[in-house]
Structure 1
Amino acid sequence: MTGTPQEVTAADGTLVWAGYIRGFGENAADISNSGAYFHQPLRLPGQYFDDETGLHYNLFRYYAPECGRFVSQDPIGLAGGINLYQYAPNPLSWIDPLGLTTEYKSESPYHGRKPTYDPATHHDPSSPDFRGGGSKTTPLPPDAEEVYRRAVPSDSTGKKWYGQNSEGEFYRYQGQNGEVHWNGREKSSRGLDVPTWIRKRFNQMAAKLKRSGGKCG
């Protein structure tokens, strides 16, 4: 479970607490090797167990682990989505440490070099390998290679990458064996299904860039 405590040890390394936390944060078992009960109140990221209510305090809201949802509505109302009590789409890879907004935290992030960009001539209208355009093959945009420089992987395999052009449109890149080629765009007859967390990550990157005055780092 992303960000949840698994064990607590004493200064000498002795295990004093180990817990089993279910899918949406319910503490199913406490195990202590110290011979005495050890109170460990931390639950899902940002949550603190409240003994009096049995709920998890999440700074801005209270959370009911047995239900897997908040007991109070999202403070920003429907602007945060149609489900006002939702914790996160999937607690294995999403967190909400403040009770205000979810963040994607991949359990198995991609580790490795960024694959080399392959021009993919079958998408290039100027190439004899071009497959026709229209509903058959979407033509390669002129900025495909530039956008790939800012692309991020969709999962731990590194086989799919998403990038956003200067107009805010997403491109997808796909491949294997250390190479990827351009594989589609949002504004095409086929369209493009962009994962929600990818969109959110680019929004966060844009906000950070704006705060820094347009400077990276």
Structure 2
Amino acid sequence: MKTTSPTDAATETTATRAYELLRRDILFGTFRPGSRLSIDGLRERYKIGPIPLREALNRLAAELLIKQSDQRGFFVRDVSVTEIRQLGDTRCWVNEIMVRESFKNESPEWEKELIVAAHHLFRTPRTPSDSTTINPDWEARHRHFHMVLVADCPSEWLQKFNADLFDYTDFYRNQYLSAKPAIARDIHAEHQALFEAALSRDTAALTEALNAHVRQTVQTLISVLAASSG
């Protein structure tokens, strides 16, 4: 029987912490697209040794959040209009399956969980009044609300894939948070429409509202990306 030494366990725990810190900072736009992630720089930033940092970087590379070059090291992935469109299309395809399956397998607790998630989201300001950065509490509640909408879809594979797609969208969105998109949006109204469609158990209405929400995000990101590179 294989046993884990205290040293191995400590390294694994530190690697997990390094992964979580790095992933959070990449998703929140702390590191710009294409920027190099040097081991020395990361050691200084996180006060974590090179071995757990390399493990974390390899894990993030497997998730496609960063890219690895044998000669040059690790880099935050670049952004492109093509990838943004592909991401949006994939989210819409997944929404169609997950909404249908979630309603078919609705649990007794789902409506209460949805109401609580919506209440917390609607009461949380998206951005502080003196900042262009998104409120971390809003980020967490926004993600939770979207996950609850389709929480009763029984496929663990789809649940994981859906969560990853949501995180990739956040990666793109947070890269250009300080820019003012040309497309005006009422984010609260969009989430209110999602909430009402979900409560009505209307599969077509919720799917349409979710996909419209995703496409609005895609168009906003494309407009900001075009403006920043123009």
Do these two structures clear the TM 0.5 threshold for a shared fold by scoring above it? Answer: no
Counting strand residues as a fraction of each chain, which structure ranks higher? 1
1 or 2, which has the higher helix percentage? 2
Rg bigger for which structure?
A: 1
- With CA pairs under 8 Å and 6+ residues apart, which has the higher RCO, 1 or 2? 2
TM-score norm. by structure 1 comes to 0.29
